[in-house]
Structures are given as C-alpha cells and as structure tokens.
Structure 1
C-alpha cells in the first residue's frame, strides 16, 4: 500500500480537531530495545512534544501514513530542524587530524572558538511498532530515511546547507543501521547528553 507524508503543521492548520490529532500521535509505539533509552525518547516526543515544537517553530514533524485492510494508520514519523552543527573547541580537538581537516572544508570557526557547519538536524526518526502497524509491515527504517531525505533536499534547494546530522545512543545495532545508510560517526565525540554524533553530506542524499 502506498505511503503518504502529511505535515503535522498542515494538519494542525486544517479543520481537524486537535484532540483527534493527539489521538493519532498517541497511536505510535516504539520498539523496546534493552539499554536503549533513546527509543523511549522517540515515543515521548511524538506523544508529548511534537505539537508544541511545531507551534514554536522549533522543528517540523512529518507523519507517514498508510492503510491496512482499508484502515488508515500511522506507519512512522520523522522530525527535522534547520540547525547548524556546532562543535565546541574541546570536542573538535578530540577528532582525528584527518577528520578535522575534512570538516574544515564544510564549515568555519566562530568568534566563540567553536566550529560550525550549516546543515539539518534529523531530530527524530521513528517506525511505529503498534500491533496494527506490525501487521501491515509497510515501512522499513530505510524507507523512513529516504522519505526524510526528500524533505531535507527540498529545504536544501531553497536555503542550502552542507550536512545532515543526528544524535543516537552508543548502541551497536542503531549505529550499524545509520552506517549502512551512509552516515559516518564522529569518533571520540560525545554530545552533552552522552550520545554519538552521526553525519552525512547533503550531496550524498538520494531521493
């Protein structure tokens, strides 16, 4: 069955009742992975923060809809922010010289002694694991990434940018998924939340 992308912003500005939108978002269930609190964050965001972030223009969330036996359901979602990657000097110095040199070609050093690269943050990426969604099985993680690339490339064509980046847990299964899909880990780099940083050049996105 075909997948349809719906902007949460458009949905909120439509005639749909917010109560019904909240009910739709609440139908999202994440997979439980041991030692992976990030999965709970993906569920918590869509349940409690997505609408607020949308109204505050902090990010844009897109719902991937499908149908199973004529019943519409939420297959997954992703959230994107137009936000540069800012690397503090202390963290930048931990990177290999080769990586430092490569990154210098994408960004610039700021007056605050940080390193900044224009790009987009893939803040959330979640496949629905509700019973209905699992029965349908219409969406893979790779499919979800490809759909997010389409929106990111739309933004890139309008305002530019150099990289797509995301934060994820130091969990081998999760990092392996992003690595298979062309992301590179910034080794020895830890975010303020002790997460790993994965990056991919915009020019390497395909849609």
Structure 2
C-alpha cells in the first residue's frame, strides 16, 4: 500500500482552509491514552499548525488510501534543535558514551555540552477505524520516512545526531533501541523525559 508524505507547510499554503486542515489532523487517534500517547495526539490536533507558523518545527502527514478513501496513516515532526547536556548530567553518562559524544559535539562557555542535532519531536501511527482496517503503515515505516527527511536536510546543512525525548516507557524505549537509538543512562531532560540518540551516519 502506497504511503505519501504531505508537509503541513504545503497544506497551509494550498487552497484548503485552515478549518479543513484541522478536520484532517483531528482524524488522527492514538492507540491508548497514556501520557506520551496523549501528547502525540494533542500536538497534531492543537499545536502543529502553531509550531509550523512560528517555524519551530516541521510536521509531515503520512497519507494512504483504503477503498478509494484517503486517510492519515501517521505523522512525524522534526525540528533543528541542538542536544544540550549540562556538565553535571554529562558526568553521569557512561564513559564509553561520553567518548562517542565528545567526537560529535563541543563544550559551550557555560560548560554545557552541545551537539548539532535534529529532534524527532513527535512520531505516531494513526489508530482510527479506517487506518486500523487498512493497516497501511507500521511505526518502523513512519520512522523510516522521518529518516529520509532528516537525511535530505543533513545533506544541505550538516549535523551529527538525531534524538528523541520520550517518557520512561519500556515499550517506547525498546522500539527506539531496536531502531538503533541509544538511551542516555541516568539522564533526564529538563522536562523529565528520557533522551535517546543515534548518529545520522547510521540512519
């Protein structure tokens, strides 16, 4: 089944009204109502357009067709956001990972550690009734599409790391570990989320 990517930016520039776009985005549903899943759903429903208009992130809608009906199969959002680790938190990271990160980043004047990175801010598969029947995309499919967008940008402006912030959920962490991400042990972001990283050269 064919998957097509439509950028939210292009949608907002099209002949579609903002209300029509909001109706499309609202068709996305998460499988559960856990905190992390709720954030993924809420972002697309209520924040994605605002983030797009302020150039804070770029959101991409993954579309497919089932019985001639177009539907949202999933989505992802990407932002050009450096990964910044405080000196104290950096010292908590295992030495083996410290050495790997030292090769791709630099220390700032505030003695933090900064790596030129891309953040996959949101990524989700649609679980509404049509999408479940069609079974058009897996989480791996959507992540692979996000990789392709990051590689396109990387070819133009560079960068070393792609990372995600996620809740401390075993299933989510396992999903990203199986896709080559490495968890920063004993480290949480300022908003109490776990950080997982992957070198862009390994996408």
TM-score (norm 2): 0.98
The number of equivalent residue pairs is 203
DSSP-derived class of the 2:188 partner: coil
Counterpart for residue 202 of structure 1: 200
Measured after TM superposition, the shift of residue 93 of structure 1 is 1.0
Counterpart for residue 22 of structure 2: 22
* Separation of aligned partners in 1, 2:95 and 2:20: 52
CA offset digits 1:175-200 (Å, max 9, x no partner): 00000011000111111222110000
DSSP-derived class of the 1:188 partner: strand
Counterpart for residue 108 of structure 1: 106
For residues 98-137 of structure 1, the aligned pairs below 5 Å read: 98-137=96-135
DSSP-derived class of the 2:177 partner: helix
CA offset digits 1:101-130 (Å, max 9, x no partner): 111001000001100000100000010000
Counterpart for residue 173 of structure 1: 171
Structure 1: segments with no counterpart, 5+ residues? none
* Separation of aligned partners in 1, 2:114 and 2:102: 9
Counterpart for residue 63 of structure 1: 61
TM-score (norm 1): 0.96
For residues 7-156 of structure 1, the aligned pairs below 5 Å read: 7-32=7-32, 36-156=34-154
Counterpart for residue 3 of structure 1: 3
* Separation of aligned partners in 1, 2:81 and 2:110: 17
Structure 1 runs, 4 residues or longer, greater than 2 Å off: none
* Separation of aligned partners in 2, 1:8 and 1:125: 14
Measured after TM superposition, the shift of residue 68 of structure 1 is 0.6
DSSP-derived class of the 2:144 partner: helix
Measured after TM superposition, the shift of residue 147 of structure 1 is 0.4
Structure 2: segments with no counterpart, 5+ residues? none
Measured after TM superposition, the shift of residue 169 of structure 1 is 1.2
RMSD over equivalenced CA pairs, Å = 0.8
* Separation of aligned partners in 1, 2:103 and 2:73: 38
CA offset digits 1:47-101 (Å, max 9, x no partner): 0000000000000000000011000000000000011100011111111122111
